[in-house]
C-alpha cells in the first residue's frame, strides 16, 4: 500500500479548532479530494457539502441532493480519522458514481476499491470504528436490573416530565444514567 496522497492534517492544529474553523477544514479537505479526482475525471461536478447526517453513519454520498453529507458529531469527536479516511471514502463514491458506468457499480465494489487504493492511497475500508454513543439517534442511556436501554430525545423528554418506562424483560422501572467520560459526567439532559 502506498502512502496517502492527501497530506495528514496536524493533530494539534485540528484539536485547537473551534466549530467554524472545523467546518472550514472539512470544506477544504473535500475541495482537495475533489481537485485530486478531477485530474482523472475533469468533468466531475463539485459536490455540495452538508453536516446534517445523524446516527451511526459518518458520511454519505447523496446523489439526489448533489453532494456529500457528514455527521457533525462524529467529525467533532474523530477529527483526524474523519479528514484522512471518511472524506476520501465519500469522494471515492462521488467519483465512481459519475463515471460512465458508475450507476451500475456496487457501492463498495471493485471500482470504489480501486479509487481508494490507487487514487487516494488508502486501504478500502467499508466501515469506520468510531464510538457512536453521542452521535446515535438514541443518545440517552437508561438502565434497569438486566440491561441498558437507549432513548430518543422525545422519549427522554417524556421520561424527564414524569412518564415511567419499564423493562419488558425484568419489569423494573428504567432509570436515566448520564454518560460518563474520563471521570466526568457529560450532560445530556
90 has catalytic annotation: yes
What is the sign, positive or negative, of the torsion defined by CA atoms of 61, 138, 155, 72?
A: negative
H-state helical runs in 98-161: 110-114, 153-160
C-alpha dist (Å) from residue 117 to 79, 99, 153, 183: 22, 17, 40, 40
CA distance 32 to 157: 42
Cβ neighbours of 95 (radius 10 Å): 26
C-alpha dist (Å) from residue 32 to 9, 24, 29, 41: 12, 12, 5, 14
* The one catalytic residue among 31, 43, 85, 90: 90
Active-site positions read 90
Amino acid at each position: 500500500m502506498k502512502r496517502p496522497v492527501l497530506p495528514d492534517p496536524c493533530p494539534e492544529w485540528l484539536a485547537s479548532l473551534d466549530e467554524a474553523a472545523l467546518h472550514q477544514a472539512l470544506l477544504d479537505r473535500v475541495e482537495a479530494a475533489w481537485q485530486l479526482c478531477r485530474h482523472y475525471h475533469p468533468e466531475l461536478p463539485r459536490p455540495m457539502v452538508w453536516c446534517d447526517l445523524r446516527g451511526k453513519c459518518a458520511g454519505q454520498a447523496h446523489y439526489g441532493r448533489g453532494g456529500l453529507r457528514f455527521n457533525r458529531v462524529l467529525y467533532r469527536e474523530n477529527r483526524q480519522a474523519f479528514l484522512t479516511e471518511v472524506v476520501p471514502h465519500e469522494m471515492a463514491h462521488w467519483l465512481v458514481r459519475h463515471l460512465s458506468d458508475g450507476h451500475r457499480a456496487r457501492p463498495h465494489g471493485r471500482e470504489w476499491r480501486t479509487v481508494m487504493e490507487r487514487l487516494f492511497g488508502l486501504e478500502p475500508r467499508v466501515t469506520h470504528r468510531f464510538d457512536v454513543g453521542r452521535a446515535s439517534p438514541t443518545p440517552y442511556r437508561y438502565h434497569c436490573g438486566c440491561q441498558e436501554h437507549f432513548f430518543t430525545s422525545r422519549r427522554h423528554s417524556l421520561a424527564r416530565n414524569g412518564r415511567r418506562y419499564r423493562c419488558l424483560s425484568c419489569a423494573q422501572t428504567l432509570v436515566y444514567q448520564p454518560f460518563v467520560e474520563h471521570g466526568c459526567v457529560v450532560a445530556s439532559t
